[in-house]
Amino acid sequence: MKNFLIDYNLKVRLPILLFVVLAVFAITYYVSYAERVGVGYQPVQPIAYSHKLHAGDLKIDCRYCHSDVEKSRHANIPSPKVCMNCHSIARKDRPEIIKLTDYYTRGIPIEWKRIHRVPDFAYFNHSVHVNKGIDCSNCHGDIAAMEVVEQVKDFSMRACLDCHRNPDQTIKNITPGKDKKLINNGPTNCSACHR
């Protein structure tokens, strides 16, 4: 009897248990991948700014606000002063614009929630990519259709390398006026991003 129990435990229960544990782990791993790399992250912003309205319906170029994207590592978040270029006249009565004007006049910077992020030990450079003609949407998705911005693409090293190795297949959109043929494979050596 005792032997049987041990036998049963070893031969049937243990493998089943192991299988279940591994299966759960594997499923969780794959299902949560998107979550882990941040896909779907859509925080509430201090001002309910709509990219859909501005970039989509009004067709304002991304670079009107993110003006340093061609000159710097960072695609800057515009300062309220840029918003006020229009909103000192336009739609002054809307509650969100009143909030914005308040930030501006009191001289308080707006603390936007960060959505996209690569780790500190990787040095991503916006200007290098944008100046080669790679459209923002390749990494950020169709921002112009988003009421509230969320992360839609994977920002892991795998995603970087996928694109650096096969830009022909992975790069969908090109900034108008640039030639897709000009885009060579990106560097894949470590020191291209890590220093």
Q: Minimum CB separation from another protein for residue 68, in Å?
A: 5
N-terminal to C-terminal alpha carbon distance within the chain: 64
CB neighbourhood size of 10 (10 A):
10
Amino acid at 164: H
| Part of the chain binding another protein (CB under 8 A), chosen from 7-15, 22-30, 52-60, 183-191 | 183-191
Verify binding: residue 165, another protein, rule CB under 8 A.
no
Is residue 72 within 8 Å of residue 160, measured between CB atoms? no
Q: Minimum CB separation from another protein for residue 72, in Å?
A: 4
Binding residue for another protein (CB under 8 A) from 32, 88, 125, 173? 125
Binding residue for another protein (CB under 8 A) from 107, 169, 181, 184? 107
Residues 41-100 that bind another protein (CB under 8 A): 41, 43, 68, 70-74, 76-81
Q: Give the residue with the Cβ less far from another protein, 67 or 137.
A: 67
Is residue 76 within 8 Å of residue 109, measured between CB atoms? no
Distance CA 107, CA 44 (A): 22
Verify binding: residue 123, another protein, rule CB under 8 A.
yes
Length, in residues, of the chain:
195
Q: What is the dihedral of CA 93, 56, 149, 156, to 10 degrees?
A: -160
Verify binding: residue 194, another protein, rule CB under 8 A.
yes
Distance CA 64, CA 144 (A): 14
Binding site for another protein (CB under 8 A): 35, 38, 41, 43, 68, 70-74, 76-81, 103-104, 107-115, 117, 119-121, 123, 125, 127-128, 131-132, 187, 189-192, 194-195
